[in-house]
Structures are given as structure tokens and as C-alpha cells.
Structure 1
Amino acid sequence: GNAATMARGARFFLMALAGIVAMHAARAQVEDEVEEDAAVFEEEDPIDEEAAASVFIAANKAIEFGDVPLLVVGKEFTVTYELFNLGNAPAYGVELMDSWDDASFELVKGEATAAFDRIEGDGSAKHTVVLRPLKEGVFDCTRANITYTTVPEDQADEDAAEYREALTSTDGLVQVVTAAEYRRRTGSTTNEWLVVAALSALVVVGPM
């Protein structure tokens, strides 16, 4: 009887010991899985932030006209390019490429191309050129082309989708006239305003 009781006690003890060992093993496995999940989350977190980042370049190309939207043969004018990063992440390797007909316009100052290492999110960049019309006529002011990447140049893959393109706005068709024609057009306008001013003065002052 005593031997059987001792045998049952030993069996229960071994079963309890096995249960305790199994419980500790399960707890250790759960802790390892939690640590592994935390490590994976920490690794994926920057990727999520990168996925949430956005880069979008919008650009404006504008001719600085005088009092009237005309260009004059031989008279210099300025073209201003403004690039805006409407995203929240930097744009890298930004390049501006424009072209002007050499037979119609002389590049006086600056270049028709420009490069910027980076434009910060919600940032901007500006480039200007000065040109001189060589002959009269109507010319199409074409859009300038812009290329950029969403990652630094040394990390960019030519086959990847990080490379993007954009176009500037445009003034459309631009008319170039001779100096005599410009004076004729603006002179008639000036004379009209002088007549209006004189008549207004007569109305205000009136007969004495």
C-alpha cells in the first residue's frame, strides 16, 4: 500500500513539474514573440513614414512685361522661373530645362537651364534669365521641363519610380514689335489717358 501511494505521489510530482516547465517554456516563447514583433515594428516604422512623405513640384514661368503685354525688338526683358515643392519631403536633383530660339532671342544674362541640389518640403527656388528679342513676330512661349527625384541622387535607381517630371506654366503666344510700333500703341493709350485726365480736371474745377 505504501509503495503504491509513493508511486502515485511521485507520478503527480513529475506531472506537476512537467506542467511548470511547460508553463515557463510557453511564457518564454510569448516573450520572444513580443520582442520580435516590437523589433519588426521598429524596423517598419521608418518605411511607414517614408510612405507617408510626399513630393510634388509645381512651377511658374513668367515674362516680366512693361505697361502692356508686348516685347520690343532690341529691348531686354526678364523671365522668372519659380519652383514650389508642395509636398512635405525634399525633392532632390531638381533640374530646370528651357529653350529659346537663337534666331529670335539673344540670351543676355543667365542660362536657360538651372539645377538645385534639393528643394525642401513646402520650400521654393527661383531662377531668372534676361533675353533680348532679335526680330518682330508672334512667338510661342513654350513650357520649361523639370525633372527631380524623391530620394538623394546617390540612392536613386534609374529604373525606379523615384524619377519624376513636371512642366512650368506659360505665357502662351507672345508678340514682339518694333520700337516705333510700341511707341505708337502705347502713345495712343497715353494720349487717351491725358484727354481723360484733362476732362476730369475741367469737371472738378469747373468755371470760376
Structure 2
Amino acid sequence: MRVLLSVLFLASVVFAADDLKEELGASATAPLDSARILASKFSLSQYAVENMDYVIQYNLYNVGDRAALKVVLDDRNSFPTNSFEIVKGMLQVRWEKIAPGSNVTHSVIIRPRSFGAFNYTAAVVTYYPSEDAKEVKVGYTTAPGEGYIYRQKDYDRRFATKFGTWVVFLFVAAPTIVIPYMLWYSSKSKYTNQSGKKQK
């Protein structure tokens, strides 16, 4: 699953780079002379569930011809602490430099505190596009869009293993199987013993 998502991300980066060249028109072959970061945000978990770990991954790729400096990824507004618990990682992270043609990956594990519909918005990416740049460039990651956080009871009922249910079922069903078997085995033993005595 992770490999497929990575391939899709790299494909989107290639298409975005091609779009960038088309936007430049006649100067498409000329150097950009600045950094340009494309960023994605997606989930590595199949379902978001109340009180269960949910993994978010961010990929940043510099398609420009200069290093991006003082890069900051900030996604704190997407996951407020009153609705989500941060289990591992940070929602705001900084890189001093992302070289041209290179990419970085960052993951965060969160835990939803409640269930219901939720809008997964884009994270904000800020950076300096060149060493002599005086203004910070602002960009955004892709946004997964609206999703749903399952209630833990509903998720367990639908997706969790039914080991406990099978144990209870076998415990209840055992008497209806064991008792008739014992009666049959007892009568069979008596019949076998009587037949053996008669033959003697």
C-alpha cells in the first residue's frame, strides 16, 4: 500500500513539473532560478477510528533548480488538540534546506478523540526560494478532503476479529454436541461388552 502511494505521489510530481514547464511557455528550457516545492498529504491508515492510531504522511519535493531554505511544514490547524491527540511526531516541522531535485518525507501519528465527519484540509508550507530571497513563499499540500471518523464500537463490530464471539458460541454449543456423544458412546460400549460376553 505504501509503495503504491509513493508511486502515485512521484507520478503527480512528474505531471506537476511538466505543467510548470508548460506555464513557462517559451522559457520552459530556461532555469527557474528558484526553488519550487510540491507537497502532498495523505493517510497511510485505511480507516480513521475514534481512540485508534491514524497515520498521516507528508511528502515535499523541490522541482526547482535552487535549494529551498528554512522550509516549514505546519498542519496544526488541521488537527486541533481538543479533537486529536498527537501520539508520535509533530504537526509543525522545519528543514534548513531541501536541495533541488530532492524530496523529504514526514509522518505523524494522531488519535481522534471523537467520531463523525471531518474535513482534512491542506497543510501550509513556507520557504525561501533562493539565498537572496527576502520574501517567504507560501504553498499548500494536497488535501485529502472530507472523511469520516468511525466510532470505535461500530468499527469493532464491522472489522475487528470475532475471536471472542466464536469462543462464546463454542462454549454454548458444546453441551449440545458433547452430551449426545457421551450418551451414544456409553450405549455403544455397553452393546460391545454384551456382544463380547455372548460370543464367549
- 1:61 and 1:122 mapped to 2: Cα distance? 19
Tell me the SS of whatever aligns to 2:69.
strand
Larger of the two Rg values belongs to structure: 1
Query: Is 2:157 the partner of 1:177?
Result: no
Shift of 1:173: 1.1
Match of 1:56 among 36, 45, 54: 36
1:32-111 matches, within 5 Å, as: 52-66=32-46, 70-99=47-76, 100-111=79-90
Tell me the SS of whatever aligns to 1:185.
helix
Aligned to 2:129: 150
Tell me the SS of whatever aligns to 2:110.
strand
Q: Gapped runs of 5+ residues in structure 2?
A: 1-29, 161-200
Shift of 1:110: 1.3
Which digits, 9 at most, give the CA deviation of each residue in 1:165-207, with x for residues without a partner?
Answer: 11001111121112221133337xxxxxxxxxxxxxxxxxxxx
Q: Output the aligned Cα RMSD.
A: 2.1
Aligned to 2:112: 133
Shift of 1:51: 6.7
Contact 2:59 2:106 in 1 (8 A): yes
> Sequence identity, in percent?
29
Shift of 1:141: 0.7
Q: Gapped runs of 5+ residues in structure 1?
A: 1-49, 188-208
- 1:86 and 1:151 mapped to 2: Cα distance? 13
Aligned to 2:194: none
Normalised to the residue count of structure 2, the TM-score between the two structures is 0.59
Tell me the SS of whatever aligns to 2:51.
coil
Q: 1:56 to 1:184 in 2, by over 3 A?
A: same
Aligned length: 130
- 2:56 and 2:108 mapped to 1: Cα distance? 5
Letter in 2 for 1:167: Y
- 2:85 and 2:144 mapped to 1: Cα distance? 19
